[in-house]
Amino acid sequence: MRLSGLLILTFALTAPINQARSDNAAMALGKKVFLELAVPQCALCHTLADAGSTGPVGPVLDDLKPTADRVRTAVTKGVGPMPANTILTREQIDAVALYISTVTGAR
């Protein structure tokens, strides 16, 4: 009885920490996708203060404040002159969507 109570308590306390950890990992991955992994890199075309990028081609993401869904759609399907992604994994696309929507305050 006491042991199971302790296990439940331990789980209740660590679950949010684990969630926060995986969010942090996804945020770090998202920034890396934005700056390095996407081809061509998002940063070449987009300005985003958190990433320190000043790309002049596409909309300034700090002003646009796209939701995660909007980022996901833009990256998977392409928009106008912006090319659709052909190399990023689902996890990487989700991460860059989380990253941009979070740092611009859209989410």
Measured from the CB atom, the residue of 14 and 54 that comes closer to ligand HEC is 54
> If we measure between CA atoms, which residue out of 83, 31, 16, 37 comes closest to residue 61?
31
Minimum distance, C-beta of residue 12 to ligand HEC, in the bound complex (Å): 36
Residues 6+ apart with CB under 8 A from 75: 38, 84, 85, 88, 93, 96, 97
82 is an interface residue for ligand HEC by CB under 6 A: yes
Which of 27, 35, 44, 106 contacts ligand HEC by CB under 6 A? Answer: 44
Please choose, out of 8-16, 21-29, 53-61, the segment that lies near ligand HEC by the rule CB under 6 A: 53-61
CB atoms closer than 10 angstroms to residue 22: 10
Assess contact for 55 and 106: CB atoms under 8 A: no
Q: Give me the residue whose beta carbon is nearest to ligand HEC.
A: 80
Question: From residue 5 to residue 24, what is the string marking binding to ligand HEC with x (rule CB under 6 A)?
Answer: --------------------
Question: Tokens 């404040």 — which residue?
Answer: 65
